[in-house]
Structure 1
Amino acid sequence: MSQDEDAAYLKALEIQRRNFEAQFGSIGDLGFDDKLDKVESEATSSSDESLDDKETNFDGFSSGSEDDSSSLDSEEEKEEEEEALAEEEAGSPPKPKVVKLNTTTSELPHAVPSKTERKLLKSGRAATLSELETINKRASKQTLKQANKLAKEESDNLENDLKLQRLLKESHILANNVDPQFSGADLTLKTIDFEDPTGKSRRRILSSRMSELASINKTKDRKLESMPMNMRKGMIAKRDARVAKYEQEAREAGIVLSKLKKGQVRDLNAGRGSTSSSERLGSGKSLGNKVMKRERGLKINGVGKSTRNGLVISQSDIDRINNQGKRRGKKR
């Protein structure tokens, strides 16, 4: 049993060796030492020696000698076939086997058939020209519908964005209109169920929109509402005192207020009343009548004085450059 198992194992190894050489070439061609060649050479030398011994010990023709000659002929034929295969493999260089596992590795792009094309393939006939035209028309209609749908969605989104921006700008006005107390003049049968703001809030919103439109192309500052100067000064002083008190209380309570731009005033009554306080008092502080110096360019040590007649260099400038200092008067 052990000899049979060894023979089966050697047979499996031989099959594996042949498959490997058929795919990648012999081991000797790849640059490695083939131990099997040594074994085969030893086996051939031993077989030659045995043949010589048999020839010397030949006794005559018999039935056993015929069997031995037939087995030797079969072995020689096998060896010749193996040598022919080895010569063919040595003549042609070994080529690796390329296995394509996916169609995406091919150079030509793979077109995925549509649903209608698959139906036509299942039916076993080719598509006619009329069917191809109808398919193209449907595809073009679908693309046009999708483009129109996207354009409509974009326009709706833009409109909603503008509405949201306007709502955020006017939220401080609408916040004070949660529980409105309208008069009889503000409400009518048409406006009793009207969702848009009415009354003072409507007037404030319209005035804010008008001021926003006017600020686009404005060239001069907006004029304030006409009123006596002393009254305006008193209102400004009262407003500044109220804002200072509000900021101090917030600072003591640990509340962080929003930062303001330079010269801007915090509006505590935002959204209240029919008119905003900025129409009477303005939206900023007076920075004072500061004398603005003209810009003289770079802060460098200039020489001379530039006039319309040219550059005039005095004697003091020349002495300063030459490090001669100021001239002292002569002693009498």
Structure 2
Amino acid sequence: MAVTLGKRKRDAYNLGVERKHSTADSDSEALQAIFRRAFEAKFEPLVGAPPPEHEIPNALPKPEEEDEESDWEGIESNDGEVVEVVEHPALDNLRDRATKEEMKAFMSSNPPPTTPKTTSTAKQKPKPMEEDSSEAANIKNDLALQRLLKESHLLDPSSSFSPSGTNRHKATDLRLRSLGSKASIMTQEKMPLSHRKGIIAKASEKEEKRRREAKENGIILEKVAMKKSAEGKRERGVGGPAVGKFRGGTLKLTKRDVASIEGPKRGGAKGKRGGRR
């Protein structure tokens, strides 16, 4: 009998230690459940909070003396059905937006697209600095080559590549003309008449020589563009006379001016006098 009593005492001691741990855990869970109920009663329920695994009994645990006498049957658990409520407000917003877009597409008169819209999220990779520097160098070299080809006829084989004197002015004129300048900087508006006549005679002589050499060598050139002489009435100053010439404070009229003023004369029939009837 003593042996059995000793065994029951050791078993009761082990059961008491386990019961203490279980009661401590259940007390902490009960406190958390009470605080959660109070918070949800005052505010909105917590989103994503895990549902309680089991309901906490309202009755307080029995004292240890009464539990020692009863047989140990394990931890009691209520397997009642727990209702879990999960809300997804983001999905509702997406559905509302989709319904609005569908309604707008349905009410529009345009036909629906056959292919869905694909939005490319891939961003263009920035070019490295080496490629940018090489492109800038290539563009600079291209511009220099174009300028050299345009001005190559101005360079003398014996001289340097940098033009000087008249060639420099001609090169500047070519660059300005390529940029869109209408008038050449080589043309002078005001100069003595003898100089202008000499320049025109020299240009015409040079053109005639070029055409003669081309004709001798069998080269066909363009046709000579005939310039029309500007014929028209001379512009008169504001306030001047419309007929005749005003010189030295006197107005001089020619016979033509007088005839234009008087108009055509009316001549009578031959052998008859004009008079009253």
- TM-score under structure 2 normalisation? 0.30
Higher-Rg structure is 2
